[in-house]
Amino acid sequence: MNDLVLGLMDRLRAGDVRALGRAVSLVEGGSDLTPELLAACFPLTGRALRIGITGPPGAGKSTLVDRLARHFRDVGKTVGVVAVDPSSPFTGGAILGDRIRFQGFADDSCFYARSMATRGALGGLARATADVASVVEASGKDLILIETVGVGQDEVDIVRLADMSLVVLVPGMGDDVQSLKAGVLEIADVFVINKSDRDGAERLESELITMQSLGHGLALRWVSPVVRTVGSTGMGTAELVLAITDFENWLGVEGRLESRRVTQWRERILDMVQGELLREIRRVGLGDVELGELALQVAGGLVNPYVAVPGLVSKLRG
Amino acid sequence: MNDLVLGLMDRLRAGDVRALGRAVSLVEGGSDLTPELLAACFPLTGRALRIGITGPPGAGKSTLVDRLARHFRDVGKTVGVVAVDPSSPFTGGAILGDRIRFQGFADDSCFYARSMATRGALGGLARATADVASVVEASGKDLILIETVGVGQDEVDIVRLADMSLVVLVPGMGDDVQSLKAGVLEIADVFVINKSDRDGAERLESELITMQSLGHGLALRWVSPVVRTVGSTGMGTAELVLAITDFENWLGVEGRLESRRVTQWRERILDMVQGELLREIRRVGLGDVELGELALQVAGGLVNPYVAVPGLVSKLRG
């Protein structure tokens, strides 16, 4: 193993927060050391519970995540937070934001938070997030909270790589639940109605309950509970923790957690394979210059891409 | 060339609408004939102007697209519409919706509309949309309108494959322009404020103008105009057509259109290569059974995926 990776892993395992930050930056930045670093982290993962939290902008996810993190720290669990904004073009700035947001956790070496805002991350943001979460877990965290901003396909893809998904909604979101993207509702293991002191909480709750009773005929399936919270006051945090624990217990039997993770790994492996293949083909014959030249010929109608691309791929096969 | 593809292409070129529908279905469904079909369509493309239209749900994009389609048909242009909803899990149903929506164009063989709603389309929805648009163009359309629902990364990716992007907004959208995802505003060549008879149109317009004056120092750059429309009455359609023509003229000089298309083809080629590589590796050693087995071992901690995946890829290389 590379000496830098070795040294970093030693410090990371010893609880050195700066080593963890360095390792995450390497992975996020797509350093050449990334594969080795991730390979070294892998044996240290698999024991933490990963909770994904998503919902529309303005639903108060950050406040809720802070409440949850505080609770779990108070009961003695080590906690990592990975916050992702797929639409934001900024990276560096996010880290300053973290310092302000998580001030209450300063000097707590059993807590670590990191924002990722890497639009166009090489090989997919969902995979990059899962990789960063692995590094954070490898540093010895019991619980990883993965928070995303937004309700698009990207966010669904990210949250689907967690063991459990919380979908945070607020009363009076324009129309009603129908207007939410189907994918977001499907992934919810627990629904949270935050800012539930506002008008419309009751209506939203009954819509969510009706929706679930319509959608599924299987009696043995998990019926996602609806928890009302007010992030700003802490109201409902205890109930939310209870719902999380209930689901964790449900997951814990009949191989449910394992089966969820196998499904996730199927997707991650395919994603990794694709990324690796792309890196390879970029290296052996489709570098920036070749790609630019080919694009120019295709745009000019001189080369038919549907003929050229299969040709390129067979060339890779040797 | 395959006989079916040959026959289909003959009928498609002759203006047979049913052949076009069939060809689109084959491409959308990922038929084995897709590569051959797309290769046959490619030489017939490159002359149409492709206009992407995006914006939040409820902004009235469909009505606006119908108005534009009607206008361009009235001035003698042939028109194709491809409407995409990345979040919708439905496919078949969308076609019935088209029949109702485009009733005014019945029996007009110079008009064709198609909805795509293929979440999880193999190899990316943006590429699938661009492919379908190519087939529609190959049937002899002067103008392709590509309409998406939503404002996430998927929609941005789709619209970026057009020659020109219209971003449709409405007054009083919750907060203000700041809350819109950055990516959506960046791609706008023309801003449309639809439903502009509502309160707040003026404020939205000045926000869009201010935003642009802040963002860019380049005097020679295209400054995206803001056009006010009311889709339901047709108000502003003429001004919108004028803005589209202005931008088309701007694109037409100094190789701007060509350079845009070269950039797009760079992305599409990389995307195609990735898709092709994935198909190949699935065929030669990572079929469903092998993948399931590998995922099981990884989830159980028995195999380190960061070691196994590079191994798999070198195996592909022979």
pLDDT at B201: 92
* Cβ–Cβ gap A274/B278 under 8 Å: yes
Each residue's pLDDT tens digit, B41-93: 999 999 999 999 988 878 889 899 999 999 999 999 999 999 987 655 444 33
Whether residue A36 has pLDDT greater than 60: yes
Q: Determine the distance in angstroms separating the CA of B182 from the nearest CA of chain A, rounded to an integer.
A: 7
pLDDT at A294: 95
* CA A197/CA B81 separation, integer angstroms: 45
Structure tokens at B146: 């590509």
pLDDT at B216: 55
Q: What does the domain layout of chain A look like in residue ranges?
A: 45-254, 269-316
Q: What SS3 class is residue B93?
A: helix
Banded model confidence at residue A91, pLDDT cuts 50, 70, 90: very low
ipTM attached to this prediction: 0.84
Chain pair A-B, CB pairs under 8 angstroms: 177
Task: Kindly identify which residue of chain B lies nearest to residue A120, measuring between CA atoms.
Answer: B153
* CA B93/CA B116 separation, integer angstroms: 10
Whether residue A176 has pLDDT greater than 70: no
Nearest to A156 by CA among B174, B29, B153: B153
Whether residue B97 has pLDDT greater than 80: no
Nearest to A313 by CA among B218, B224, B283, B136: B283
Structure tokens at B89: 């899990």
pLDDT at A211: 77
Task: Kindly identify which residue of chain A lies nearest to residue B34, measuring between CA atoms.
Answer: A306
By the 8 A CB rule, do A81 and A114 touch? yes
Q: What SS3 class is residue B260?
A: helix
* Cβ–Cβ gap A38/B306 under 8 Å: yes
Task: Kindly identify which residue of chain A lies nearest to residue B258, measuring between CA atoms.
Answer: A299
Name the more confident of A72 and A124.
A72
Q: Determine the distance in angstroms separating the CA of B260 from the nearest CA of chain A, rounded to an integer.
A: 9
Whether residue B95 has pLDDT greater than 80: no
Name the more confident of A273 and B139.
B139
| Residues, chain B | 318
Q: Determine the distance in angstroms separating the CA of A117 from the nearest CA of chain B, rounded to an integer.
A: 12
Tell me, rounded to whole angstroms, the distance of Cα B20 from its chain centroid: 18
Provide CB contacts within 8 A for B138, sequence distance 6+. B12, B13, B40, B41, B42, B44, B45
* CA B165/CA B160 separation, integer angstroms: 7
Residue B179 gets which letter from DSSP?
G
* Nearest by CB: B39 against A154, A296, A306: A306
**What is the overall mean pLDDT for chain A?**
85
pLDDT at A95: 47
Of the residues A122, A173, A259, A276, the best mutation for testing chain B's interface (the one with the most B CB atoms within 10 Å of its CB) is A276
Structure tokens at A40: 């070294």
Which H or E run includes A130?
Answer: helix A125-138
**CA triplet A254, A256, A259: central angle to 5 degrees?**
120
Give the CA distances from residue B39 to residues B21, B158, B261, in Å, rounded to whole numbers and listed in that order: 17, 21, 18
* CA B252/CA B259 separation, integer angstroms: 11
| Chain A hits for B86, Cβ within 8 Å | 152-153
Of the residues A179, A269, A280, the best mutation for testing chain B's interface (the one with the most B CB atoms within 10 Å of its CB) is A269
Tell me, rounded to whole angstroms, the distance of Cα A220 from its chain centroid: 28
Task: Kindly identify which residue of chain A lies nearest to residue B292, measuring between CA atoms.
Answer: A266
Whether residue B297 has pLDDT greater than 50: yes
Which H or E run includes B155?
Answer: helix B153-159
Q: What SS3 class is residue A99?
A: helix
Whether residue B28 has pLDDT greater than 70: yes
pLDDT at B173: 67
* CA B17/CA B59 separation, integer angstroms: 30
Banded model confidence at residue B121, pLDDT cuts 50, 70, 90: very low
Average pLDDT over residues B181-208: 87
Q: Determine the distance in angstroms separating the CA of B238 from the nearest CA of chain A, rounded to an integer.
A: 31
User: For the ranges A176-190, A200-214, B125-139, B259-273, which has the lowest average pLDDT?
Assistant: A176-190
By the 8 A CB rule, do B124 and B271 touch? yes
| Chain A hits for B280, Cβ within 8 Å | 313, 317
| Chain B hits for A278, Cβ within 8 Å | 270, 273-274, 277
* CA B77/CA B72 separation, integer angstroms: 5
Banded model confidence at residue B174, pLDDT cuts 50, 70, 90: low
Nearest to B62 by CA among B239, B232, B248, B243: B232
Name the more confident of A238 and A159.
A238
Q: Determine the distance in angstroms separating the CA of A314 from the nearest CA of chain B, rounded to an integer.
A: 9
Name the more confident of B107 and A59.
A59
Average pLDDT over residues A293-311: 93
Phi, psi for residue A13 in degrees, rounded to 5 = -65, -30
Average pLDDT over residues B162-177: 81
Percent of chain B past pLDDT 70, that is, above it, reads 86
- CATH code matching the domain that covers A45-254, chosen among 3.40.50.300, 3.40.640.10, 2.60.40.10, 3.40.50.280: 3.40.50.300
Whether residue A109 has pLDDT greater than 90: no
Name the more confident of A176 and B110.
B110
By the 8 A CB rule, do A169 and A56 touch? yes
Question: Which segments within chain B are labelled E, that is strand?
Answer: 49-54, 79-84, 111-116, 143-148, 164-169, 190-193, 226-228
**What is the overall mean pLDDT for chain B?**
85
pLDDT at B44: 95
* CA A84/CA B37 separation, integer angstroms: 40
Whether residue B123 has pLDDT greater than 60: no
* Cβ–Cβ gap B309/A276 under 8 Å: yes
Whether residue A215 has pLDDT greater than 60: no
Nearest to A261 by CA among A137, A103, A91, A153: A137
Average pLDDT over residues B236-243: 97
Whether residue A318 has pLDDT greater than 70: no
Q: Determine the distance in angstroms separating the CA of B33 from the nearest CA of chain A, rounded to an integer.
A: 12
pLDDT at B271: 83
Each residue's pLDDT tens digit, A127-156: 888 999 999 999 999 999 999 876 666 777
Name the more confident of A50 and A105.
A50
* CA B60/CA B92 separation, integer angstroms: 23
* Nearest by CB: B299 against A262, A292, A304: A262
Nearest to A87 by CA among B52, B64, B57, B151: B151
pLDDT at A96: 47
* CA B162/CA B52 separation, integer angstroms: 5
pLDDT at A185: 76
Structure tokens at B84: 């995409």
* Cβ–Cβ gap B313/A277 under 8 Å: yes
* CA A137/CA A132 separation, integer angstroms: 9
Kindly compute the dihedral angle of the four CA atoms of residues B256, B258, B263, B267, in this order, to the nearest 10 degrees.
Answer: 150
Residue B177 gets which letter from DSSP?
G
* Cβ–Cβ gap B265/A298 under 8 Å: yes
* CA A315/CA B87 separation, integer angstroms: 36
* Nearest by CB: B281 against A277, A304, A312: A277
Each residue's pLDDT tens digit, A63-90: 999 999 999 999 999 999 999 876 554 4
For chain B, the distance separating the N- and C-terminal CA atoms, rounded to the nearest angstrom, is 30
Domain B44-254 has CATH 3.40.50.300: yes
Query: Crossing angle for the helix pair B3-13 and B34-41, nearest 10 degrees?
Result: 40
Strands B190-193 and B164-169: parallel
